[in-house]
Amino acid sequence: MSTTEIFLLAMLIVFVVPYLVWRLGRTDYVAPLVIVQILMGVVLGPGVLGAAFPDYHRFVFNPDVVKTLNGVAQWGVMLFVMLAGVELDLKMVWTYRRESATTAGLSLGMPLLLGCAAAVLLMAYPGWMGAKAAPWQFTLGTGMACAVTALPVLVLLMEKLDILRQPMGQRILRYASLDDVAIWGVLAIIMLDWERMGRQLGFLAAFALLTFAFRRLMARLDTSDRWYVAIIWLIACAFGADWAGLHFMVGAFLAGVVMDAGWFRQQDLCSSSAPACAPSGTSAATPCSSPAACCCSRPSAASCSARTSPAACWHGSRARHRSSAGCCSRRASSKSSSPTSCSTSRSSRARRSRPCC
C-alpha cells in the first residue's frame, strides 16, 4: 500500500472508532464525543494498541503517516481555536475586567498552589523529579500541569452543553483564555530562558501594533476578501506565537479574538446555506425574507412566512429558536404558526416553538 492509502486508512480509523464507541455505546450522557475521542486516542496509541498489535500499529501509524496526521490535526485545531476567539466578546471582557481578572486569577492560582503542594509531597519519593530539574522547577511545573486548561476541549464541551454563546459560556471562555495566556508565561519562567521571554514580549508588542492595521484593513475589505486575509492573519499569528515560545494555539486564539464576527456576515452565510422555502401559493423555492433567519431544516410554505423575524435563528430538526438575547425556547406541537415563533413541517404536521423569553 502507498503512503496515501495508509494515511487514508489511518484517518478512517481515527474518525470511525471514536464515533462508533460514542454512538453504539450511547455514552453521550456520561462521556460526550470529545471525551470519547481523547480516550480512543490513548487506546489507538502505542501504549495500548501498539503494545497489543505492534506490527499492525507500526504499519498503519508509521512515521510518514503520523507526520501527516499531526499536520492535519494542528491545522484543524488552529481553525477551531480561532473560531473560539471570534466567539469571545472583547467588549464584555473590558466591561467586566475586574471580575474577569479576579475569577481568572483564582481559577489559575488555586490549582497551581494545590499542584505545587502535591509536588512537594512527590519529591519525597525517588523517580518523580528528573536529574536536571531543580526542586523549584519541578514544583512549579507540577502546579502548572494541574492548572492548565485545554481550551479546545473546553470549547467543545460548552458547545455540547449549548452554553458557548450564553452569558455563562462567555464568562468561562474569558477566564480560560486569560489563564491560557498566563500559563505560558509561567512556563517561560520555569525554563529560565530569557531569550524566550524577550521573544514573547516582542511578539505581544508586535501583535498589539499589527492588530490596529489588521482591523482597519478588514473593515475596508469585501466579505470574500476578508476570509482570505483572516486565514493569512491566523497563520502569521500562530507562527509568531510559536516562534516566541508560547504556542501556535495561543497565536491562533489571539488572531480570532481581535476579529469581529460581523465581518463575515455569519447570518447571511447561514441563510444562504439553508434550504429554500416556497411562499404560499407558489411552487418556486425562494429563501426566507430575513437575512438573519437561519432556516436550516426542511421548511414548508406555511412556515416560511413565520420565520421573518431578524431575531429568529433556526437550527436543524431540533427546532431551536434563539432570540438576539440568546434565550431558547422548547418545542411544542401546534397546527398554526405565529410571527414570533419558529416552525417546521414534518409530513403534513407543523410544529411550533414557544416565543423566546
Q: What is the pLDDT of residues 71-82, one digit of tens each?
A: 998 998 889 888
pLDDT of res. 316? 37
Q: Report yes or no on 312 lying in a domain.
A: yes
| Domain membership flag for residue 72 | no
Number of domains the chain is built from: 3
Residue 144 resides in a domain: yes
Same domain, yes or no, for 259 and 285? no
Percent of the chain scoring above 90 in pLDDT: 19
Q: Are residues 217 and 128 in the same domain?
A: yes
pLDDT tens per residue, range 26-65: 887 788 888 888 899 899 988 898 888 989 888 999 999 9
Regarding whether 251 and 137 lie in a shared domain, the answer is yes
Query: Cα–Cα distance between 61 and 55 in angstroms, integer?
Result: 10
Asked if residue 70 belongs to a domain, the reply is: no
Q: Is the per-residue pLDDT at 305 higher than 60?
A: no
Mark whether 185 and 253 lie in a shared domain. yes
* 68: in domain: no
Instruction: Order across the sheet with 320-322: list the strands.
Output: 314-315, 320-322, 328-329
Residues 144 and 96 in one domain: yes
Amino acid type, 80: F
127 with 253, same domain? yes
Residues 171, 223 within the same domain? yes
**Domain with 7 in it:** 3-61
pLDDT at 69 over 60: yes
Q: Check pLDDT > 70 for residue 293.
A: no
Q: How confident is the model at residue 314 (pLDDT cuts 50, 70, 90)?
A: very low
Sheet containing strand 343-346, edge to edge, reads 331-333, 349-353, 343-346
Per-residue pLDDT, 127: 83
d(CA 285, CA 69): 42
214, 249, 266 - which closes a domain: 266
C-alpha cell at 307: 420565520
pTM of the model: 0.60
- The rounded distance, in Å, linking the Cα atoms of 152 and 33 is 13
Are 109 and 233 members of one domain?
A: yes
Domain termination site, one of 266, 299, 319 = 266
Residue at which a domain ends, from 266, 282, 308: 266
Confidence of residue 99 (pLDDT cuts 50, 70, 90): confident
- Please report whether residue 212 resides in a domain: yes
Are 163 and 147 contained in the same domain? Answer: yes
| Mean pLDDT of the 200-215 span | 91
Judge if 233 and 141 occupy the same domain. yes
- Backbone φ/ψ region at 346: left (φ over 0), alpha (ψ -120 to 50), beta: beta
* Domain presence at residue 225: yes
Residues 282 and 237 in one domain: no
Q: Residue 257 maps to which CATH number?
A: 1.20.1530.20
With respect to residue 315, please indicate whether it lies within any of the assigned structural domains: yes
Confidence of residue 12 (pLDDT cuts 50, 70, 90): very high
For 115-176, give the DSSP string. Answer: HHHHHHHHTTSTTSS-TT--HHHHHHHHHHHHH---HHHHHHHHHHTT-TTSHHHHHHHHHH
Burial 78-110 (b: 16+ CB within 10 A, else e): bebbbebbbbbbeeebeeeeeebeebbeebbee
Closest CA to 218 of 264, 272, 181, 160: 264
| Residue 283: per-residue pLDDT | 38
Report the range of poorest mean pLDDT among 93-102, 140-149, 156-165, 188-197.
188-197
Whether 163 and 209 map to the same domain: the answer is: yes
**CA–CA dist 256, 237 (Å, integer):** 10
